[in-house]
Structure 1
Amino acid sequence: MRFCFSLLALLSASAAWADTIPVSCKVTEVTMYPDSAAITRTAEFQIPAGKHRLVLQGVPDTVLLETLRFDLTGARQIGTVFRDEYAPPREFNDPRIEEAEARIDEIEQRIQAVKDDARRAGLKGAAAEVSIGFLQQLGENEGLADATPDTLRDIARMISQEAETAGQTALDAEIEARRIERQLQELEDELETGEQALEAIDLESEERLYIAVEVEADEAGNGQIILNYLDEDGSSWSPVYDFKLATGDSPTLTIERGVFLQQETGENWENVTLHLSTLKPIGRVEPLPLYTSHRQIAEPEPVDPLFDESRAGGYGEPVVEPPVIMGAAGMWGVRSDGPGVTYSFAKPMSIASGADLLRLELDVLTEPVKLMARAVPMRNSTAFRIASFTNTSGEELLQSTFAARYVDGELVGAETFKGISAGEEGEIGFGPIEGLQIRRDTLDQSEGGRGLISRSNQQVQQVEIEIENLTGETWPLQLRDRVPYSEQEDLQITWTATPRPSVEDLDKRRGILAWDLEISSGESRKIELETSLSWPEGMELR
């Protein structure tokens, strides 16, 4: 803190501030948006009369500075100084981190002691090997040729005893080295565990902002400062669903709603009041501008024979990059009377920065459904189970990238969910119906001239679709297929179908056909579809 004060003194040498008051502020409330978070920090302080500088400590550098706002009681705010470089060092004393760091230091000291023991054992072994080498050279000394038998006997006995002692010392050193090596491996494993434990605790970033609020108080007293800002650095939440379909005489759909959320603000949130909002304050708040369309005519230019017009893009309105515009009950409750929807949780929440992926449960909705099968023979060989229902919850079922699907308690898969507005009718798929087989064939030309026939200015295609119900129940089935369409008078397209489709241009999509059928157990059906295209000679079909 001494460094902090000395730096602040340099910054405010020309200002008439009585003193600098460090203020520790913590996160107390968070509203998470799909791509950002609005954060509220609160701090209490004592202030004497006069002018002072409140230095707010602990604010991460992920703050969107333009959105910083203060609410001050107990003093008048005069000005604010903030910066994201040359900030004083952050002081942070977490007992858990200190304990983990002390453990790592103790393990490292033990490792060093074991390494010292290993070196001592190595020195003993090396000395024993030197002794053995000396004794071997002594036994081969030519000067012993004139020695008496008694002298030779004494020398041999001495060499034997000393060699045995040196060999035992070398063996003991080798055994000790192996023991130390095993011990060292155990300590290194323990050190790795300790470092992992420290990483699991010390998740917060060291990068912090310098924020100083210049204030004046008429008299000494207590004050409170509330700091609000937007953080756009990786905080997000998204809906998650478990769709559970119960089949039977009166099929129902149970919708278990929850949310996934995570934050990477650089600091852990401990026991904060949490809200989830569907608004997106970092995004567009006004419609894109509409530009005028100026057209003119001119003499045609020569055509480059190497230029393929079909591969070139057309010219339309100018492409302009959009500017970025910045805007500033039980377990949970929901508010939808303003813009967007906000979910508020009654119990305080804790979320670690950059580590926790938290799933919170919202509620359970139940809707009656209508079951049917749907088949797209051009894409799949089986039909799929579809549940249609009306969202009567009064709330929008938000779009989600993960929605698990269950049928009578069995997980059948997971898929994205596009969302359904309140009061809107929607559909949810629940996997393939393996016993409802679909086959689509383009018939061979050899069969009486049927099949795919293509000439220079005509193409005829005959398709047969076969449906076979191998399940033990009757299925209402909607089958979808397509025929080509044209916007050119010279390209003539005709088609026939037996039986005729129930719907043409389904959902206002030209050429999409749909047959509404009912297929009993064991029943087979066929649909024949013939398409004919013709165009003038010399033209090419694309």
Structure 2
Amino acid sequence: MIKKNLLVLALAAVPISVAADITQATLYPSHGDLTWQETQTVKQGDGVITINRLPVSLQDQSVRVSLGGVAGAQIQQIEIGRVEQTGYVSEQTQRLRNELTQVLEKLQAQEDAIQAWNQQVTLMTKAAENPHELSATELSDMAAALKQTTMAALAEIRGIRTQMRDDIALKDRLERELSQAQQNARASKKAQIHYRAPAGGDLTITLEFQSNEARWRSEYNAQLSSQVAGQKANDPKSGELTLQHLAVVQQTTGDDWRNVELQLSTANARRGTNMPPLDSWVVSPAQPDFLVRQMKSAAPMLDSSATAEVEADFGASVERQSTFSQSYRLAQPVSVPSGGNGQRLIVAEHTVAVEMAVWTAPAYDPTGYVHATGIFIAEAPIPAGPVQLFRDGQSVGSTYLSEMTNGEELRLGFGVDEAIRVAVVNETERTGEEGIWKSEQVQRRQNRFEITNHHGDAVNLRIFDRMPVSQIDILTVKPLQISEPVERNVDDKKGVLAWNRTVPAGETVSVQSGFEVRVPEGNQLPNL
């Protein structure tokens, strides 16, 4: 059954029917612009070209059609219809069915093996119930043999059931994917293009449309090399960070793409097109609490229509870039199967000269972490995405990279440095009441942080601590012994301290950090 979305006066036409195979795709983080192109030999006059098996996710309002090859050829009418299909089974569906059949057969074989072993245990149990006339020695030997055989059979059953767990999980996944694929395969769309050709010839038809079932996202591999060619042996600062940009391409249109010319754009339409409206901000003197509560309960809800849209949460060449976005064109056509698993393609590599240091906050975590800091240089911004971290070829974990633009500081952590030992020595910890005429509650804490370098070379350290920050007048905070030089209010965070030190191989560096907190009598000290 076909439901027509566009009704225009039709012209008499000789139909030409072709299947829709995608030839080009421009993917965005939110959707895809897909292109179908075909050349057909046509006769002079009116005609109709029907394009079948278009994805059901095709957005009708986005359809654009152009004609070429025959001078003066014109489009008279475009009809987009939905086709409910009963016999069509995509290649993806057939593949899933074959894989599911193999898994079911394997599970059945495992069940048969379990049943056979259970039968053996049953037979052995019945044999033990009818020992006839046996001597005590024979009974003992038979019991031992029964026990050994039964234990072996039960062990086999347990082993088979263990193997079945992964197969059962695979079966469940394939059944879910098959259900989704069959749902997509039950319907498609088709386009009927009515044209008028002033002469016969080879007519090229280009159909472009948008689909939200094709998109891409960014992932990264960050590889830190602590030893760089030309680096001085006694220079602990320099390193090189290679940031590999991967495009995870995914499409679930129901048909596999073969040899598609692929372009990737960083532009994201889901961020909206306009800034939200900015109305007047009317304020008034503070009101008593009960009046404020009444005003809040009577206030109308914010009109959701006035807010901007927000995001839910092969080598390539840079083809086009602007201040706002960048696009990559894959060097060779690619094939992308329809399904939930994304295909990863390398689109760019960025090399960043970094300074390396071991960061530690001893009072909160006596561990040293390798950090690399450098300036990101690129012609256009790169999107945010997850990052897999590698240090000198070893995997050390993962993190998340925010969107980066040219000239921004790139800072990544690369796991624990096992050759750095951190110790905290509590030199003073005192809480009590002080004062003769005016009593106050006082707490003093003085720590010494000792960091030892067990590397064969010098290491840069960045040591962090923090001081309490008072928000009320009656609570006063005073620093005690603080090693100099020290950086205060790091990253504009009040009370955060940082020391930069270089520790030679095999040596120990120490810094001091302490504070005093006071409150008047009758008030409690904070829980520090």
- So what's the TM-score if we normalise by structure 2? 0.68
Deviation at 1:323, TM superposition (A): 4.8
Pairing 1:468–2:448 present? no
What is the match of residue 250 of structure 2?
Answer: 262
Deviation at 1:345, TM superposition (A): 1.0
Deviations 1:349-390 (A, max 9, x none): 001011543222345444433221111234422111122223
Counterpart residue type for residue 239 of structure 1? E
Deviation at 1:536, TM superposition (A): 8.7
What is the match of residue 288 of structure 1?
Answer: 276
Counterpart residue type for residue 245 of structure 1? S
What is the match of residue 274 of structure 1?
Answer: 262
1:89 to 85, 91, 109: 85
Q: Contact (CA 8 Å) 2:487, 2:498: kept in 1 or not?
A: yes
Pairing 1:78–2:37 present? no
2:332 to 323, 340, 347: 347
Deviations 1:409-464 (A, max 9, x none): 33333322235422333222221112323345767xxx6xx335589975534141
Q: Contact (CA 8 Å) 1:392, 1:422: kept in 2 or not?
A: yes
The CA distance in 1 between the partners of 2:64 and 2:201, in whole Å, is 23
Task: Point out where structure 2 has 5 or more consecutive residues left out of the alignment.
Answer: 102-170
What is the match of residue 58 of structure 1?
Answer: 53
Q: Contact (CA 8 Å) 1:275, 1:345: kept in 2 or not?
A: yes
Q: Contact (CA 8 Å) 2:74, 2:195: kept in 1 or not?
A: yes
The CA distance in 2 between the partners of 1:324 and 1:103, in whole Å, is 41
- Compared with structure 1, are the counterparts of its residues 454 and 295 closer, same or farther at alpha carbon in structure 2 (3 Å cutoff)? farther
1:403 to 388, 403, 418: 388
Deviations 1:218-274 (A, max 9, x none): 344432221212211253231321413133736333344433222222221110001
Counterpart residue type for residue 515 of structure 2? E
The CA distance in 1 between the partners of 2:344 and 2:98, in whole Å, is 34
- Compared with structure 1, are the counterparts of its residues 90 and 378 closer, same or farther at alpha carbon in structure 2 (3 Å cutoff)? farther
Within 5 Å, which residues of 2 pair with 1:431-442?
431-440=415-424
What is the match of residue 29 of structure 1?
Answer: 24
Q: Contact (CA 8 Å) 1:467, 1:525: kept in 2 or not?
A: yes
What is the match of residue 482 of structure 1?
Answer: 466
The CA distance in 2 between the partners of 1:303 and 1:510, in whole Å, is 35
Counterpart residue type for residue 75 of structure 2? Q
Counterpart residue type for residue 475 of structure 1? V
With 351-360 and 94-103 compared, the bigger mean Cα shift is at 94-103
What is the match of residue 210 of structure 1?
Answer: 190
Q: Contact (CA 8 Å) 1:285, 1:325: kept in 2 or not?
A: no
Q: Contact (CA 8 Å) 1:372, 1:477: kept in 2 or not?
A: yes
Deviations 1:145-183 (A, max 9, x none): xxxxxxxxxxxxxxxxxxxxxxxxxxxxxxxxxxxxxxx
Deviation at 1:81, TM superposition (A): 2.5
1:430 to 398, 409, 414: 414
The CA distance in 2 between the partners of 1:332 and 1:459, in whole Å, is 64
Q: Contact (CA 8 Å) 2:378, 2:406: kept in 1 or not?
A: yes
Q: Contact (CA 8 Å) 1:256, 1:364: kept in 2 or not?
A: yes
What is the match of residue 121 of structure 1?
Answer: none
Within 5 Å, which residues of 2 pair with 1:138-149?
none
What is the match of residue 217 of structure 2?
Answer: 237
Q: Contact (CA 8 Å) 1:90, 1:208: kept in 2 or not?
A: no
Pairing 1:357–2:339 present? no
Q: Contact (CA 8 Å) 2:30, 2:215: kept in 1 or not?
A: yes
Deviation at 1:470, TM superposition (A): 4.4
Q: Contact (CA 8 Å) 1:440, 1:463: kept in 2 or not?
A: no
Q: Contact (CA 8 Å) 2:26, 2:32: kept in 1 or not?
A: yes
- Compared with structure 1, are the counterparts of its residues 199 and 272 closer, same or farther at alpha carbon in structure 2 (3 Å cutoff)? same
The CA distance in 1 between the partners of 2:475 and 2:96, in whole Å, is 78
The CA distance in 2 between the partners of 1:44 and 1:97, in whole Å, is 29
The CA distance in 2 between the partners of 1:460 and 1:493, in whole Å, is 10
Counterpart residue type for residue 77 of structure 2? G
| Number of residue pairs matched by the alignment | 430
Q: Contact (CA 8 Å) 2:23, 2:261: kept in 1 or not?
A: yes
SS in 1 for 2:271: coil
Q: Contact (CA 8 Å) 2:330, 2:347: kept in 1 or not?
A: no
Percent identity among equivalent residues?
18
Deviation at 1:95, TM superposition (A): 9.2
Counterpart residue type for residue 209 of structure 1? K
With 371-380 and 87-96 compared, the bigger mean Cα shift is at 87-96
What is the match of residue 184 of structure 1?
Answer: none
Within 5 Å, which residues of 2 pair with 1:486-501?
486-500=470-484
Deviation at 1:93, TM superposition (A): 8.6
Counterpart residue type for residue 37 of structure 1? G
RMSD: 4.4
Task: Point out where structure 1 has 5 or more consecutive residues left out of the alignment.
Answer: 106-191
What is the match of residue 321 of structure 2?
Answer: 337
SS in 2 for 1:369: strand
The CA distance in 2 between the partners of 1:393 and 1:270, in whole Å, is 32
Q: Contact (CA 8 Å) 1:468, 1:523: kept in 2 or not?
A: yes
Q: Contact (CA 8 Å) 1:32, 1:237: kept in 2 or not?
A: no
Deviations 1:495-524 (A, max 9, x none): 334214621111222222111122332314
Within 5 Å, which residues of 2 pair with 1:129-278?
205-233=185-213, 235-247=215-227, 249=233, 251-278=239-266
- Compared with structure 1, are the counterparts of its residues 237 and 464 closer, same or farther at alpha carbon in structure 2 (3 Å cutoff)? same
Q: Radius of gyration: which is bigger?
A: 1
What is the match of residue 136 of structure 1?
Answer: none
Deviation at 1:28, TM superposition (A): 0.7
Q: Contact (CA 8 Å) 1:378, 1:440: kept in 2 or not?
A: yes
